[in-house]
Amino acid sequence: MGFQVTDRTRRAAPARSWLWRGALPASIVGALLAGTAAAAPAPREELVIHAGAVIAIPGERTLGPTTIVVRDHRIAEVRAGYVDFPDVPTIDLKDRTVLPGLIDMHVHFSFAPETRLWSAAIDTPEDVALFAFSNAKKTLEAGFTTVRDVGSDGYSIHALRDAVNDGTVTGPRIFLSGTSLSIVGGHGDMSGLNRKTTEALFPYDYTGACTGAVECALRVREAAKYGADLIKITSTGGIMSQQARGLGQHLSDEELVSIVTTAHGLGLKVAAHAHGAAGVTASVRAGVDSIEHGTWLDAETAQAMAKRGTWLVPTLGLLDARKESDASPAVQAKMAEARRVAGQNIRLAVQHKVNIAFGTDAGVSPHGQNARQFRLMVEHGPMTPMAALRSATVDAAALLDQSADLGTIEVGKFADLVAVAGDPSRDITVMERVATVIKDGRIIIHDRR
Ligand SMILES: [Zn+2]
């Protein structure tokens, strides 16, 4: 990829090639850019969309017939009625509802439900990168133009993110954490294999395991150094990991505070995987930005989250899972326990007005079926269809700190759009059949039935 700085406008947030990580003195970067700017200007890329209805800002009034003009990958005009631009490619979505591109705040592109425990012993990082690319493609074609990848070992997802941002491959824009930080033997640290194999495949200083405030701060700084967009921690045990350490608090209060302080100092948000109430509460107290899952959220913690502005990313996949399949006894026991209270987290969050961002845990659930979560949010929140849509657009963009570029159909934002047949504010399940996907003003799929 080297010195590809030819088309700056294609570069999606977060634009981060190695050039921008401070690897070169500013004067050299400036010279490179000046050289690029002197080349012949690329012709403008334009696209006109005639939309029958537009949910431009989910939660606000739906617009009737509208013309959306895209120039150089961003929304240039939003005009009432159908305006013709004879020389510009135009797509007819007059029988569709157009919405902002969707955002999933909790995916894992490096694995899928069929991934086995021992895959790390077989697959190379190159295998993982290509597998992640195929999962990213399914996700984008389902209408999710932006994701947060919150936990994938190694640097395959970093490579994928950069390749998408460079325009080398087509995929959703990715914000990533890399490896999750956890306690030794916790969720995120490899377990379930014998010690020799574990140490060979996952040397201690390569995993996200840390002990004590100093080492946990070091892990945060390493993640930042090697290109993380956020920090993901596992404050409690996990349901799907091969450890039976329970779902209570794992990282200590001291470790949590160290992680949050260090991350925030570096401008990175902290997403905390937390199931048990004690771990959820400790994470909120330490100042994390989002609670992922929050399975055993209680009323008191929900109130604290609302007060502090801590987000909940309630992954409701368990409500949708059909069987416990071939999980080990330890995992099956945790799944049964979690299933007993499934849905309680989102009910409490709605009741106490906690900020909710859409996230599915795709990877644990199949990639490309992300939109099934809308129906679950409406049924179990209960959330209105508009509130559920907001959580995957306006609100997710806010948690990403990307409201200037993403989350609504407004002039100046990236031209990320999806179109569906029908009115999702009446029937949210139409989101499961997205017909057209446009990302950065480019048509990804069109008129799929
Ligand atoms: Zn997850």
What is the 151 CA–ligand 1 centroid distance (Å)?
A: 7
What is the 105 CA–ligand 1 centroid distance (Å)?
A: 10
What is the 108 CA–ligand 1 centroid distance (Å)?
A: 7
Q: Each residue of 216-249: pLDDT tens digit? A: 999 999 999 999 999 999 988 777 676 656 677 8
Residue with tokens 């100042």, as numbered in its chain: 287
pLDDT at residue 110 tops 80: yes
What is the 238 CA–ligand 1 centroid distance (Å)?
A: 9
Model confidence at 37, pLDDT cuts 50, 70, 90, reads very low
What is the 354 CA–ligand 1 centroid distance (Å)?
A: 20
Model confidence at 174, pLDDT cuts 50, 70, 90, reads very high
Mean pLDDT for 404-412 is 98
What is the 379 CA–ligand 1 centroid distance (Å)?
A: 22
What is the 401 CA–ligand 1 centroid distance (Å)?
A: 21
What is the 357 CA–ligand 1 centroid distance (Å)?
A: 14
Whole-angstrom distance, CA of residue 386 vs CA of residue 363: 26
Mean pLDDT of the chain: 88
What is the 291 CA–ligand 1 centroid distance (Å)?
A: 11
Q: Each residue of 276-303: pLDDT tens digit? A: 889 999 999 999 999 999 999 999 999 9
pLDDT at residue 32 tops 60: no
Q: Each residue of 372-390: pLDDT tens digit? A: 999 999 999 999 999 999 9
What is the 89 CA–ligand 1 centroid distance (Å)?
A: 40
Q: Each residue of 60-105: pLDDT tens digit? A: 999 999 999 999 999 999 999 999 999 999 999 999 999 999 999 9
Say what the pLDDT of residue 7 is.
36
What is the 17 CA–ligand 1 centroid distance (Å)?
A: 26
What is the 106 CA–ligand 1 centroid distance (Å)?
A: 6
pTM of this structure: 0.89
pLDDT at residue 198 tops 70: yes
Whole-angstrom distance, CA of residue 319 vs CA of residue 343: 7
| Four-residue CA torsion sign, 412, 392, 13, 263 | positive
What is the 272 CA–ligand 1 centroid distance (Å)?
A: 10
What is the 161 CA–ligand 1 centroid distance (Å)?
A: 18
What is the 57 CA–ligand 1 centroid distance (Å)?
A: 28
Cβ neighbours, 10 Å, residue 358: 27
Q: Tell me the domains of the chain and their CATH numbers.
A: 8-38 (no CATH), 46-100+409-445 (2.30.40.10), 102-399 (3.20.20.140)
Mean pLDDT for 204-214 is 87
What is the 28 CA–ligand 1 centroid distance (Å)?
A: 40
